[in-house]
Structure 1
Amino acid sequence: MSHSTGSVADPLGAAEATTTTVPRVVVLDHGSGNVRSVVRALENAGAQVELTADRERALAADGLVVPGVGAFAATIAQVRGVGGDRIIEQRLAGGLPVLGICVGLQIMFDAGTEHGERSVGLAQWPGEVTALEASVVPHMGWNTVQSPAQSLLFDGITDERFYFVHSYAARQWEMEQIGSLNAPLVTWAEHDGDRFVAAVENAALTATQFHPEKSGEAGSKLLANWLRTLPRPQTDIADHAGAGAGAERDGAASPEEMPA
C-alpha cells in the first residue's frame, strides 16, 4: 500500500491521489520540546499530521502520538493540563491507536520517581519508572534493542540501532497475560549492564523509550510500521496538501531538550 506525505509536490497523478489512503495522525500538543521533529518524521513516514490538543480532533484521528522530553513530573502535568489523560484513556477504551515516545512511554506506567519525587502516571501499565543504574548517565546515543519475533513495530528492522536520550526507564515489566488476551510484546535494551524497557506493543497502545524521529532511516521505517497498523479511511490528498507543514509552523519554538 502506498503512502503520501500530502505535500503540494506529490508526484502522484490527480486521479490516483484522490484514492490513496493516508493515515491521519494528531501529535498531542502539550508543550513538549520535540514536536517539530516528530511532526516532520511522521510526515516523511507517510502520514497527514496535525499538531493540536483539541479533544475532538485528537479522538477523530487514525492515530495519536504523545511525545515527551525532560522530567516525568513535568510531562504528566503538561499532558493532564491539556486534557490529554482523558483523550488517551478514551482512545484506548475504543481501541484507537496511541503511540508514546520517550517520556510519552514513561507516563503510561503507574508512577515515576525522579530526585526522590514520586509522580503518578496514567497507570496503563503496572510498574514504576526509576533512575538507570549505570556508571554513565544519561544514556545518550545509538543502541540496539532486543524485540520479540512477533513484533510488528520492528518488522524488517530488528538489527537496527535507535537513538536514546534518557536517565530514567522502566527497568521491570510487571504486567501478566490476562485470560485469553494476547500478552503485550516488550522490547528490551541495555545500557552499561542495566536492562530496561525500550518499547511496548500492547493492543492499541504502543510506545518507545528511544526517539524514532531522531533515529534516521530505522526510525522512519519504525514509524511507517506503526502507521500500517492504523485504520485508514479513503482520503483526498489534494484536500489536505501541506497540512502537516502548517502544523509544524504553528508549533512554538522547541526549548533545549533534556534527558528523560
Structure 2
Amino acid sequence: MANLTDLEERALRELGPIETQRRRGETFQREGDQLSGFHLHNAGWISSSIVLRGGKRLIQKVHLPGDILGTPSMALQTAADTLTCITDAVTAYVPYTRFRDLYTLAPRVAALFTMAVQIERLSLMDMLAAVGNASARARLSRLLLDLRARLAPLGLVEENAFDLPLTQEVLGDLLGLTSVHVNRTIRDMEREGLIARSDHRIKLVDVAKLQHLSPLLLRQLAFEPPWLPPRA
C-alpha cells in the first residue's frame, strides 16, 4: 500500500475516529437513505446490494476490511446501495465535510482516496466482464482468486486457505448463478481437486489451474503512481 507521512497518517485516522461495532445481519445503510457521509470498513465482511424494479435483490460486491463503503452515493442525493453485515463488523463514519477538508489539509491522502475509488471501479469492471461472458467454473475461480488476493495483505490467508462466510445464495448473486448451480459447481471443483472445503473455510488446492480457468488475469495495481502529489 501507500507510504504515508506522520501528518498523513494522522489525517487518515481522524477521518473516522469513532468506530461502530455492528452485528451479523445488520443493515446500516439502505438504498434511498439521505446521507451526509460514507463509511470506512475496519473489520468483518459487508455486502453492497441494490433492489431491481421487479423486487429482486442484487448483491454487487462483498467488502473486506480496508474498503471504503458508500462512495458511489457521493454523486447522488440519496444512497445508491444497501450495506449489510455478512459477519460481525466494525465501521467508522466519515462526514463529507471532514472528507472535503482533506483536499486542503492532506491533498496526497485525498488523491489516494481517488486511487481507491478507481481500484473499486476496476473490480466492478472485471466482475461484470466475468459474469457476462464466462462459465460457472470460470466465474467461481475468478472470485476465489480475487478474495485470496484481497485477504492476503490482511493476514487472513494461510497456505491458500481462508474463511468464506458466504451462503450459496450470496455467491449466486455475485456470480449471476442460481444457488443450485453454485452448489453443483463447487462440488464439481472439489471432486477435481481444485478446491477443498471444511465448514466455512475453503482452500485453493490447485492455484495454477484456477488461474488458468479464470477469464481474467489478476490486476497488478499501482498504489503510488508518479502523478500523485509529493509527500510533504
What TM-score, normalized to structure 1?
A: 0.27
The structure whose Rg is larger is 2
What TM-score, normalized to structure 2?
A: 0.29
Query: Which structure features the higher share of strand residues?
Result: 1
Query: Which structure features the higher share of helix residues?
Result: 2
